[in-house]
């Protein structure tokens, strides 16, 4: 009986075992599914907000904040010669300006406005999309009205941006397609195989071997996720309205820009110079030169002085741009910004140039370059290709005027019109060339003033002992005086003072033969020839001072006797700049102090433009060692005779004592001589040293002296000279 019961129990256990197993398996599966569902519910509903994008996970970029470079002022700060003007650019995210709208972007914008449950309602999603499109259209109209442009103008601006981006996309897609085709498998039939062999190879090899497949990623163009400028030159009032109502202008970003401006146009253009954005090539060169230790710390997009004062005082004028940190979402739209570094404006500077005198000097030269001269044979001598006029304060070297002709409008350098730019670059007279500090040419007889210093200081020639001038030195065809070439006569018996007054070449030839070239070279070096004057303009030329002795004291083998004769009268291989001659004349006038020409008189005391300007020790001078007061006095007296009764008579002004020296520099190129006139006024109490140069203009006494006279008369009208009681032109 017992055995039968145990057998029955075992049979029940065997029959019940599969069911129990199924129940247990079901419970386990249901439990696992419940856990997964519960976890998903927890993630999607309870802590969904924890997965929203945070600032730390947004895309971060940096952009510079515009600053203002310092101003260049004139006439005691009352006239602005150069300044930065603020302007704003309005940029728009590409998806907000694109038309027709990108469907994926529009759907995403709608989803951002709806909850997860609402997103399942397709009709609600479509209504939301229509609201976004309406909002976008209304924003375009409000933006155009606020900025002051028509809706059509804004549409055209948006279309230009879109066309550019679409061209980029089509180009990239075309290249990708070409690459795909190049990677596609190609079956070639060989010439030496039969059809059966080709078919066999196709089946056994080409068709059974899996091809290399190229699956490009979806094309993602970064420019389609960026902001693009649609409006420029927007005023601050419109920008303030946009920023205070940012919710009405989604996808719009306003950025401050600065633009250099030259309100006076061409006035003192060569001295003022221009600014521009530093190029990648310049940054690369600076990196190679300085490494990480660039003293000026230039960055991409910084402004840099290109020429003139803008270049020389770039370290003062250049402002430091700020830095802004920008957070963008995955679509490239700006979420928020923060300022990392505040911008710092540049310093203001003030020029020493008298702007009204500069303007009148330029007007004089403009007329000179337009005048042609009728000749005796009935032909017409063409107008000079260029000229310059300089006036220095003999006391401190400050530049009163420095006119170079022809000139140009500085604003042309900022945004040049193609036709105007082409015309000025094609001008053979080179309007961009600053003739005051960069033009080197022989000075002619003006250099006789330096030779006279050498004669007097050498003691080898008695200035009171006359020498006979027959019009030429040894042969009638060479080493002649100007008067002999044109009238066939000489100067007769002349002293040093007579030779300066009447510009006698023969006297200086004979004196140079007695003295030799060494004293001329020595005193030429003492007066700064063959060297930079130190003028605060960039790229100044040194010129060339030929010397018989090299730097180590040895005599040059290629020095000839004719070199000494040519050097004595300002010819040979001697080349000078007009500024060097002005400096020499100033030293003769101020008892032998060699001044440093200065265009700038005041520099800002700090980086803030609101701070007052302060005077800086910009002008310097040094006494020329070894020169005697008696030598300078004799030369000044002779220079006064030049204007009173010599070759510079056409510069004479009644009542105003003037000391000067004419110069006619031969070019030897079949073109006209260079006309020079240099001097100082008033002669009895020197205040201003001046130089006039007319390229291929003719003789100094005929061409340059009358220009100097007109220039001095204008200075008298502006009370820049000590006005005598009675002043009238002869």
Q: In this predicted model, which residue has the larger pLDDT, 336 or 72?
A: 72
Nearest alpha-carbon partner for 631 in 678, 588, 660:
588
- CATH at 164: 3.90.1310.10
Distance CA(627)–CA(528), nearest Å, equals 14
Average predicted confidence (pLDDT) for the chain? 87
pLDDT at residue 408 greater than cutoff 80: yes
38 found inside a domain: no
What was the pLDDT predicted at 196? 63
630 with 658: CB under 8 angstroms? no
Looking at the structure, tell me whether residues 232 and 366 fall in a common domain: no
pLDDT at residue 52 greater than cutoff 80: no
The DSSP element (H or E) to which 561 belongs, if any, is helix 561-568
Looking at the structure, tell me whether residues 712 and 658 fall in a common domain: yes
467 found inside a domain: yes
Q: Which of 147-161, 194-208, 497-511, 527-541 is predicted with the least confidence, judged by mean pLDDT? A: 194-208
Looking at the structure, tell me whether residues 707 and 676 fall in a common domain: yes
Looking at the structure, tell me whether residues 368 and 517 fall in a common domain: yes
Stretch 613-642: mean pLDDT, rounded?
A: 85
Stretch 57-67: mean pLDDT, rounded?
A: 83
What was the pLDDT predicted at 724? 43
Distance CA(674)–CA(677), nearest Å, equals 10
Looking at the structure, tell me whether residues 331 and 383 fall in a common domain: no
Total domains in the chain come to 2
* Range of the structural domain that residue 133 is part of: 59-168+221-272+319-351
* Tokens matching residue 295: 């003293």
C-alpha dist (Å) from residue 7 to 12, 13, 18, 99: 9, 10, 19, 86
Q: In this predicted model, which residue has the larger pLDDT, 66 or 187?
A: 66
Looking at the structure, tell me whether residues 583 and 675 fall in a common domain: yes
- Length of the chain counted residue by residue: 730
DSSP E strand boundaries for 262-398: 275-277, 303-305, 322-328, 334-341, 349-351, 373-374, 380-381, 387-393
pLDDT at residue 215 greater than cutoff 60: no
Q: Which residues contact 587 (CB under 8 A, 6 or more apart)?
A: 527, 593, 594, 595, 624
Q: List the beta bridge partners of residue 90.
A: 231, 254
Per-residue burial over 91-121, b if 16 or more Cβ lie within 10 Å, else e, is bbbbbbbbeebeeebbbebbeeeeeeeeeee
What was the pLDDT predicted at 494? 96
Looking at the structure, tell me whether residues 340 and 376 fall in a common domain: no
Looking at the structure, tell me whether residues 340 and 359 fall in a common domain: no
Stretch 708-716: mean pLDDT, rounded?
A: 97
Residue 24 binned pLDDT confidence (cut-offs 50, 70, 90): confident
* Tokens matching residue 612: 């007052």
Distance CA(664)–CA(680), nearest Å, equals 19
Stretch 687-696: mean pLDDT, rounded?
A: 97
pLDDT at residue 17 greater than cutoff 70: no
Instruction: For residue 590, give the 3-state DSSP assignment.
Output: coil
* Tokens matching residue 96: 């907000």
Q: In this predicted model, which residue has the larger pLDDT, 53 or 97?
A: 97
564 with 512: CB under 8 angstroms? yes
Terminal Cα-to-Cα distance of the chain (whole angstroms)? 164
Distance CA(99)–CA(216), nearest Å, equals 27
622 found inside a domain: yes
Beta-strand pair 334-341/653-654: unpaired
The DSSP element (H or E) to which 255 belongs, if any, is strand 252-261
Stretch 160-182: mean pLDDT, rounded?
A: 88
47 found inside a domain: no
Looking at the structure, tell me whether residues 333 and 439 fall in a common domain: no
* Tokens matching residue 642: 């030049």
What was the pLDDT predicted at 3? 55
336 found inside a domain: yes
610 found inside a domain: no
CA angle 15, 20, 26 (to 5 degrees): 140
Q: Which residues contact 635 (CB under 8 A, 6 or more apart)?
A: 449, 452, 453, 456, 500, 588
Distance CA(665)–CA(443), nearest Å, equals 6
Residue 311 binned pLDDT confidence (cut-offs 50, 70, 90): very high
* Tokens matching residue 648: 């510079």
Looking at the structure, tell me whether residues 389 and 259 fall in a common domain: no
pLDDT digits (tens, 9 = 90+) for 506-559: 999 999 999 999 999 999 999 999 999 999 999 999 999 999 887 666 777 789
C-alpha dist (Å) from residue 552 to 519, 548, 549, 556, 559: 16, 11, 8, 11, 16
Distance CA(250)–CA(234), nearest Å, equals 18
Q: The pTM is what? A: 0.80
- CATH at 540: 3.40.710.10
Looking at the structure, tell me whether residues 96 and 152 fall in a common domain: yes
563 with 572: CB under 8 angstroms? yes
Looking at the structure, tell me whether residues 386 and 509 fall in a common domain: yes
pLDDT at residue 668 greater than cutoff 90: no
């Amino acid at each position: 009986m017992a055995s039968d019961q145990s057998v029955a129990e075992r049979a029940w256990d065997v029959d019940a075992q599969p069911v129990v197993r199924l129940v247990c398996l079901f419970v386990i599966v249901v439990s696992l599914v419940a856990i997964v569902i519960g976890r998903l519910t927890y993630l999607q509903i309870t802590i969904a907000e924890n997965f929203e994008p945070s600032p730390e996970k947004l895309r971060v970029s940096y952009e510079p904040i515009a600053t203002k470079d310092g101003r260049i002022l004139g006439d005691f700060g009352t006239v602005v010669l150069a300044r930065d003007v603020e302007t704003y650019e309005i940029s728009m995210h590409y998806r907000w300006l694109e038309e027709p709208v990108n469907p994926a972007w529009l759907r995403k914008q709608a989803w951002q406005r709806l909850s997860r449950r609402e997103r399942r309602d397709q009709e609600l999603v479509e209504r939301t999309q229509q609201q976004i499109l309406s909002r976008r259209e209304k924003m375009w109209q409000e933006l155009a009205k606020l900025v002051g442009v028509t809706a059509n103008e804004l549409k055209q601006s948006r279309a230009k941006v879109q066309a550019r981006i679409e061209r980029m996309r089509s180009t990239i897609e075309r290249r990708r397609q070409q690459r795909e085709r190049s990677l596609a498998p190609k079956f070639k039939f060989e010439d030496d195989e039969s059809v059966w062999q080709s078919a066999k190879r196709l089946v056994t090899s080409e068709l059974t071997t899996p091809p290399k497949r190229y699956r490009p990623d979806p094309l993602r163009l970064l420019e389609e996720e960026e902001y693009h400028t649609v409006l420029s030159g927007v005023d601050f009032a419109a920008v303030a309205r946009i920023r205070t109502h940012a919710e009405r202008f989604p996808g719009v970003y306003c950025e401050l820009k600065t633009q250099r401006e030259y309100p006076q146009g061409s006035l003192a253009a060569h001295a003022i110079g221009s600014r521009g954005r530093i190029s990648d090539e310049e940054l690369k060169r600076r990196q190679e030169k300085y490494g990480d230790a660039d003293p000026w710390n230039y960055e991409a997009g910084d402004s840099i002085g290109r020429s003139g004062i803008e270049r020389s005082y770039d370290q003062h004028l250049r402002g430091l741009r700020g830095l802004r940190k920008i957070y963008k979402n995955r679509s490239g739209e700006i979420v928020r910004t923060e300022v990392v570094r505040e911008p710092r404006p540049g310093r203001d500077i003030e020029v020493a140039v008298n702007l009204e005198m500069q303007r009148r000097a330029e007007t004089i030269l403009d007329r000179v370059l337009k005048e042609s001269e009728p000749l005796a044979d009935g032909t017409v001598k063409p107008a000079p290709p260029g000229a310059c006029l300089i006036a220095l304060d003999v006391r401190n070297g400050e530049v009163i005027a420095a006119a170079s002709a022809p000139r140009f409008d500085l604003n042309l350098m900022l945004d040049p019109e193609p036709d105007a730019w082409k015309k000025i670059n094609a001008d053979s007279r080179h309007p961009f060339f600053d003739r005051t500090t960069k033009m080197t040419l022989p000075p002619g007889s003006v250099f006789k003033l330096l030779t006279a210093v050498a004669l007097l200081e050498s003691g080898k020639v008695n200035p009171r002992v006359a020498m006979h001038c027959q019009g030429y030195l040894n042969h009638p065809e060479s080493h002649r005086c100007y008067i002999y070439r044109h009238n066939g006569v000489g100067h007769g018996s002349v002293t040093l003072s007579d030779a300066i007054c009447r510009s006698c070449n023969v006297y200086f030839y004979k004196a140079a033969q007695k003295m030799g070239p060494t004293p001329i070279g020595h005193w030429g070096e003492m007066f700064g020839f063959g060297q930079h004057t130190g003028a605060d303009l960039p790229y100044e030329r040194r010129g060339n001072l030929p010397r018989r002795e090299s730097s180590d004291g040895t005599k040059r083998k290629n020095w000839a006797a004719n070199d000494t004769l040519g050097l004595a009268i300002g010819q040979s291989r001697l080349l000078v700049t007009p500024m060097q001659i002005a400096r020499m004349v100033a030293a003769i006038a101020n008892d032998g102090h060699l001044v440093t020409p200065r265009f700038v008189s005041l520099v800002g005391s700090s980086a803030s433009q609101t701070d007052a300007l302060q005077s800086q020790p910009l002008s310097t001078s040094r006494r020329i060692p070894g020169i005697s007061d008696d030598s300078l006095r004799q030369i000044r007296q002779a220079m006064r005779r030049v204007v009173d009764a010599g070759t510079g008579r056409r510069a004479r002004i009644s009542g105003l004592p003037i000391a000067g020296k004419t110069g006619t520099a031969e070019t030897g190129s079949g073109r006209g001589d260079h006309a020079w006139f240099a001097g100082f006024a008033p002669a009895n109490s020197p205040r201003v040293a001046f130089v006039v140069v007319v390229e291929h203009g003719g003789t100094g006494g005929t061409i340059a002296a009358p220009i100097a006279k007109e220039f001095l008369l204008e200075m008298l009208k502006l009370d820049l000279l000590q006005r005598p009681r009675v002043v009238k032109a002869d």
